[in-house]
Amino acid sequence: MSRLDEFILRMQAQRACIDEVALRMLDHPGPVLEVGLGNGRTYDHLRLKFPQRAVYVFDREVAAHPDCIPPAELLRLGDFRTSIPAYAREKHRPAIFIHADVGSSNRAASTRLAVELAPSWHDILAPGACLACDQLIEHEGFERLPLPGGVVTSQYHFYRCVK
């Protein structure tokens, strides 16, 4: 499979997970977290699918399209290993969804980062809430779910938070 085909499948998986969670968590209160703003495409889709919710965004720096930059009060800049625990200490309502796109070209570093962040993500999420991630998460607090919409890719993963 070409890298283009893999990219398309990953984007389809992202969209399918976001759309599934928008329906699944419709009656559950709480914010949404976008970990890894990138160019802002996913954030833009999250705003569309969760229009009445706060969408908190985490990234090292803003490099998004100007139309896809969150308001300052919803933006947390810095290393994920410090900005996400800092957010947790702010005592927000538990999140109903975390979309995490934390991978880089360094697979080993990306895997380590996801392992480090998984406990914080678990703490932030409400029971039954969802996590969609570009990294495999092996944490006892997450139950792996099949990707919705019939999408099949090894580059994207979907979980339910178990507490």
pLDDT in tens, 124-142: 999 999 999 999 999 999 9
Helix (DSSP H) and strand (DSSP E) numbers for the chain:
4, 7
pLDDT tens, 46-93?
A: 999 999 999 999 999 999 999 999 999 999 999 999 999 999 999 899
pTM above 0.75, yes or no: yes
| Rounded-to-10 torsion of CA 70, 37, 41, 73 | -10
List the domains of the chain with CATH numbers. 3-161 (3.40.50.150)
Quick one: pLDDT band at residue 106, thresholds 50, 70, 90? Answer: confident
pLDDT over 80 (residue 104): no
Tokens of 46: 């999250």
